[in-house]
């Protein structure tokens, strides 16, 4: 299994137990709290322990430094590209963890400042309460690096109003704190200067009673509306364009809208969309559309298959080329293969969505008494390595 390089003796995750409160701090500030294999294991271990602990009532999660979490550790994936399935374990553990975060039995609060992107946002959006600030920045930019929208977001984004989910997944567009609350991806907006006060108040509350936690947060939260120019106020255009059947039709429709007066905002978004991986875009659109009809567990199992196929370069090496261009060589000039949407083979797209044999699927136990079963170490993958 590929391991992230940790250059300090500091633990990547801090877990504190304060009477009935449990506080998690993502602790890789210099790396914007990107999610390493060790961090995933520690998160799962703590959350299982606390869900089963009658003394634990409230779980708070926050990031150290200037970010909540910038998502998965891309360098870890890139460094593992030559060794088959070197990152399979961390992917399995992360998606398995995503299900348990969504279905957690204790009250959870995410305190989110700074960047909250991709897999990092999967530690924010599903929480009972997610508190954002004027410095919070959310996006799911995976398609732009030749990947797909994962960590449960093919399910979460597909359930947003209209076709906003397709728009966010395909363009990687950013939302700020006010927009997150308006879109239902966060529950409360608190000015950054008061965020530490929320944490102190929740610790002093010392209770997981959801109504009491909500009232405590609302002592500091303010009512907000998206700015006039927010993309959330362009829903009719988004629905018109991003409801189209194919990525090519979406781009053509978006180009037509861009020519209309008052639609100058579309130009930069369109430019980014056209620069993204054709394979990543095709797979992302289909995954979001399927997510609308799937359960959370079905979506996570599908995302697991897709990710393993991406990392195995089953039909394309675009994800490694995207990571190279963004974070390794930093030339921002990826050479996609195939280079255009019309060259992406339909049969190859079908291939990466094909179910694995049952023994190699992500194991998610939906029965209450078995919900913490299905761990990686008990899977067939563990015995294969």
Backbone torsion region of residue 262, taken as left when φ is above 0, otherwise alpha when ψ lies between -120 and 50, otherwise beta: left
Half-sphere exposure of 221 (CA within 13 A, CB side): 22
Q: Please indicate whether residue 120 is annotated as part of the active site.
A: no
Cα 90 to Cα 50, 69, 99, 102, 154, distances in angstroms: 21, 16, 15, 18, 19
Q: How far apart are CA 263 and CA 324, in angstroms?
A: 33
**135 - beta bridge partners?**
none
**25 - beta bridge partners?**
14, 62
Tokens of 259: 């020519």
Cα 118 to Cα 1, 223, 240, distances in angstroms: 21, 26, 25
Q: Please indicate whether residue 72 is annotated as part of the active site.
A: yes
Residue of 142, 166, 179, 303 with catalytic role: 142
Q: Please indicate whether residue 80 is annotated as part of the active site.
A: no
Residue of 15, 63, 71, 72 with catalytic role: 72
Q: How far apart are CA 15 and CA 21, in angstroms?
A: 11
Contact 106, 50 (CB under 8 A): yes
Is 48 exposed, middle or buried (CB count within 10 Å of its CB: 0-12, 13-18, 19+)? middle
Residue of 57, 79, 150, 318 with catalytic role: 150
Q: Please indicate whether residue 119 is annotated as part of the active site.
A: yes
Question: Cis ω on the peptide bond leading into residue 28 (within 30° of 0)?
Answer: no
Q: How far apart are CA 95 and CA 185, in angstroms?
A: 19
Residue of 15, 114, 118, 119 with catalytic role: 119
Catalytic residues: 72, 119, 142, 150
């Amino acid at each position: 299994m590929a391991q992230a390089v940790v250059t300090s003796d500091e633990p990547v995750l801090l877990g504190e137990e304060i009477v009935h409160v449990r506080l998690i701090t993502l602790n890789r500030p210099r790396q914007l709290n990107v999610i390493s294999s060790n961090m995933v294991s520690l998160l799962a271990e703590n959350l299982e322990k606390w869900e089963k602990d009658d003394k634990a009532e409230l779980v708070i999660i926050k990031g150290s430094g200037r970010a909540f979490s910038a998502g998965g550790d891309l360098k870890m994936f890139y460094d593992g590209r030559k060794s088959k399935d070197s990152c399979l374990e961390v992917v399995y553990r992360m998606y398995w963890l995503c299900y348990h975060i969504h279905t957690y039995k204790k009250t959870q609060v995410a305190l989110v400042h700074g960047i909250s992107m991709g897999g990092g946002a999967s530690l924010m959006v599903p929480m009972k309460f997610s508190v954002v600030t004027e410095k919070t920045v959310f996006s799911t930019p995976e398609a732009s690096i030749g990947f797909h929208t994962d960590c449960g977001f093919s399910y979460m984004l597909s359930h947003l109003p209209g076709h906003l989910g397709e728009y966010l997944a395909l363009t990687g567009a950013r939302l700020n704190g006010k927009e997150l609350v308006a879109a239902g991806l966060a529950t409360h907006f608190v000015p950054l200067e008061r965020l530490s006060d929320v944490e102190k108040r929740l610790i002093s509350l010392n209770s997981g009673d959801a109504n009491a936690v909500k009232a405590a947060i609302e002592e500091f939260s303010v009512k907000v509306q998206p700015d006039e120019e927010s993309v959330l106020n362009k829903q009719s255009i988004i629905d018109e364009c991003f409801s189209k059947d194919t990525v090519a039709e979406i781009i053509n429709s978006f180009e037509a809208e861009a020519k209309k007066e008052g639609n100058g905002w579309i130009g930069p978004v369109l430019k980014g969309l056209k620069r993204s991986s054709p394979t990543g875009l095709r797979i992302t659109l289909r995954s979001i559309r399927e997510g609308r009809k799937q359960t959370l567990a079905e979506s996570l199992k599908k995302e697991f298959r897709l990710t393993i196929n991406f990392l195995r370069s089953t039909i394309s090496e675009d994800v490694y080329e995207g990571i190279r261009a963004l974070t390794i060589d930093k030339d921002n000039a990826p050479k996609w293969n195939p280079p255009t949407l019309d060259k992406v083979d339909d049969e190859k797209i079908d291939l990466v969505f094909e179910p694995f044999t049952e023994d190699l699927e992500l194991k998610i136990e939906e029965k209450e008494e078995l919900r913490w079963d299905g761990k990686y170490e008990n899977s067939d993958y563990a015995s294969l390595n």
